[in-house]
Amino acid sequence: MKTTVKSLEGSRQNIIIDGRFVKPNSGQYIPSYDPTTGESWYELAEADSSDVDAAVGAARAAFRNPAWRRMTQTDRGKLMRRLADLVLEHADELALIETRDNGKLIKEMRAQMRAMPDSYIYFAGMADKLQGETIPVNKLDMMNFNLREPIGVVGMITPWNSPLMLLTGTLAPCLAIGNTVVIKPSEHATASTLALAELIAEAGFPAGVVNVVTGTGRSAGEALTRHRDISKIVFTGSTDTGRRIAGNAAANLVPCQMELGGKSPHVIFSDVDIDHAVNGVVAGVFAAAGQTCVAGSRCFVEASVYDRFIEALVARTNRIKVGHPMADDTDIGPLALAAQVSKVESYVSSGVKEGARIAAGGKRPPAEDLARGWYFEPTVMIEAQNDMGFMRDELFGPVVGVMPFVSEEEMITLANDTRYGLASGIWTQNIDRAMRFANRIDAGTVWINTYRSAAYMSANGGFKESGYGRRGGFEVMREFSRLKNVVIDYSGTMQDPFVIRLR
């Protein structure tokens, strides 16, 4: 893998079309910033619609190329296992690149990158298990069956918060099925996708199976979602951008898979160990500095333990160390974008005007060594109400709003009072209550006595404005394959079509 933090430093990166690094037709490059200093550290190509057209053309040609189209499922699985080995071999370098690009903790990124090969291995194992089915029909001497086949060229638009992990959730099944792909990574964290594309080529995937167009959402992203020769669009990001992309794709009748924002409820009942529940809430909302779509950012606590819970949560939050993402003792690093810090700051201050109170954090950290970076303290807002701005909108930052509830009925009403429906969590020792919550909550994922415990073996995705489509497990194999019905008449005769015979 030639792309490393060292080689990226001060460099200009090109796009990848048909297995080759090529310059963008515009000749334009844009900076990628280091979130710990706010300074540019490399430049990425600004692809335009002509580059996107070339990338989709290459992906379409690769889709038809017998080297890929007629490769057996078993051999595709083998290629993916080879890719898994290469990802493992380069996991620490990939982690360094992501940390440098988006400011997430190196220890978290290392763990994520070292675990990622398992995902490729899991889907490699599915390459030869995507079976069709036979259908009993009410006619003799007929065979009626469904085939599952790849859908074609998939356009993937990925975000900056966990670029490779989120990409892998859809790229691995897509490749296992035999699709080809054009990826548009976020301009804020592009480099790791270029590095992965290199490993894909090294593993032996034919040229054009995976192409990468870089640049802004406005230019490259928009062109990809408007392209007529795309078979499906996969998007992870904000609800507003998702809505726009779905509109572009709909004009060409292209289906989408959307993983969008969240404002997930995290519920605490009085019958649990408060310290465990506090750990769950902290892990749910402050991990990755709150930049996860499933962040449990609205916390509802049974009134009888509300004060005790707040005291423990504030004490735990005040012990969280904000610092440089490369330091081993850092718990929370910077946010990935300057705009994210301003967004979080503005929601916190308007929350105070709306009547909430800051019980911990609430500002940029005062430490001099963090002054140039895009840091924000982990923040607990109490006396929150569901109609306050920071409780309604996705902040994508380290902020949790807490409010008490008295009855189970009140809790479920509050928890469902959101336009989102991505994830949810409940802490209780009462299994009946936990199951009632699981049944009634409008969320694609329900965690009971845990939070943010994701697995690529289970299907996840959103309800309501959190999107549609599922990732993970066998479900995702259906999402990226298409069903074809085949009918065979083996009677050896064909009746005159105009002679109607009634039974």
Any idea which residues carry the catalytic annotation? 259, 293
Phi/psi-derived region of residue 131, left when phi > 0, alpha when psi is between -120 and 50, beta in every other case: beta
Q: Give which of 407, 406, 400 is closest to 425, Cα–Cα.
A: 400
Size of the site for ligand NDP (CB under 6 A): 27
The window from 113-121, 151-159, 446-454, 492-500 that contacts ligand NDP (CB under 6 A) reads: 151-159
The count of other CB atoms within 10 Å of the CB of residue 141 is 10
Binding status of residue 222 toward ligand NDP by CB under 6 A: yes
Binding status of residue 170 toward ligand NDP by CB under 6 A: no
Binding status of residue 465 toward ligand NDP by CB under 6 A: no
Instruction: Mark 283-322 with x for binding to ligand NDP (rule: CB under 6 A) and - for no binding.
Output: ----------x-----------------------------
Give 228's contacts (C-beta < 8 A, 6+ positions apart): 252
Instruction: Identify whether the C-beta of residue 54 lies closer than 8 Å to the C-beta of residue 17.
Output: yes
Instruction: Identify whether the C-beta of residue 336 lies closer than 8 Å to the C-beta of residue 291.
Output: yes
Binding status of residue 257 toward ligand NDP by CB under 6 A: no
Among 112, 192, 211, 216, binds ligand NDP (CB under 6 A): 216
Residue 466 vs 481, nearer CB to ligand NDP = 466
Give 161's contacts (C-beta < 8 A, 6+ positions apart): 102, 104, 189, 288, 291, 292, 293, 336, 396
Binding status of residue 98 toward ligand NDP by CB under 6 A: no
The window from 233-241, 313-321, 477-485, 486-494 that contacts ligand NDP (CB under 6 A) reads: 233-241
Residue 108 vs 187, nearer CB to ligand NDP = 187
Cα distances (angstroms) measured from residue 156 to each of 61, 143, 378: 18, 37, 32
Among 152, 221, 323, 333, binds ligand NDP (CB under 6 A): 221
Binding status of residue 237 toward ligand NDP by CB under 6 A: yes
Helix (H) or strand (E) holding 124: helix 106-126
Task: Specify the 3-state DSSP secondary structure of 219.
Answer: helix
Instruction: Mark 382-401 with x for binding to ligand NDP (rule: CB under 6 A) and - for no binding.
Output: ------------x-x-----
Minimum distance, C-beta of residue 358 to ligand NDP, in the bound complex (Å): 20
Closest-CB residue for ligand NDP? 217
Binding status of residue 159 toward ligand NDP by CB under 6 A: yes
Q: How many residues does the chain have?
A: 503
Strands, DSSP E only, in 8-152?
12-13, 15-17, 20-22, 29-34, 39-45, 133-134, 142-150
User: Using CB under 6 A as the criterion, which residues of the chain lie in contact with ligand NDP when the complex forms?
Assistant: 157-159, 161, 186-188, 216-218, 221-222, 225, 236-238, 241, 244-245, 259-261, 293, 340, 343, 394, 396
